[in-house]
Amino acid sequence: MKTATRVISALVLSFVVGVTLASANGQDILTALRSSLIFASITAAVVALLSVGMEKAEEKGYPAWFGLLLVVLLNVLGLVILALLPSQSAERRRFASR
C-alpha cells in the first residue's frame, strides 16, 4: 500500500470515528465536525510519517519494520537517519565483487 492510500484511509476513517464519538458525547454538529477534522488531520500526519519511514526503508533494501521502528522511536530524527543509511543493495554488490 502506498503512502497516499494510507493517508487518505486514515483521514477518512479517523474523521468518521471522530464525528461519531463527538456526537455520542453530546457535541453539536458543527463542533463535532470541527474537532473531527482536527483529529483526522493529526492522525493523517502521524500515518504519513510512519508510512514514509516504511517506504524509505524498503526502498533502501531494509525491512519495512526497521523504518517503522526508527520513526516510532526517533520521529523526524529517525527519518533523517534512514535517509543517511547506505542502500543494502550497494553493500551486497561491493561484497560480491571481492
Domain ranges of the chain: 3-96
So what's the pLDDT on residue 77?
A: 80
In the predicted structure, residue 60 carries a pLDDT above the cut 60? yes
Let me know the angle formed at the C-alpha of 56 by 50 and 60, rounded to the nearest 5 degrees: 150
Query: With bands split at pLDDT 50, 70 and 90, how would you rate the model's confidence at 7?
Result: very high
Q: Which residues of 53-81 are buried (b: 16+ CB within 10 A; e: fewer)?
A: bbbbbeebebeeebbbebbeeeeeebbee
In the predicted structure, residue 96 carries a pLDDT above the cut 70? no
pTM of the complete model beyond 0.75: no
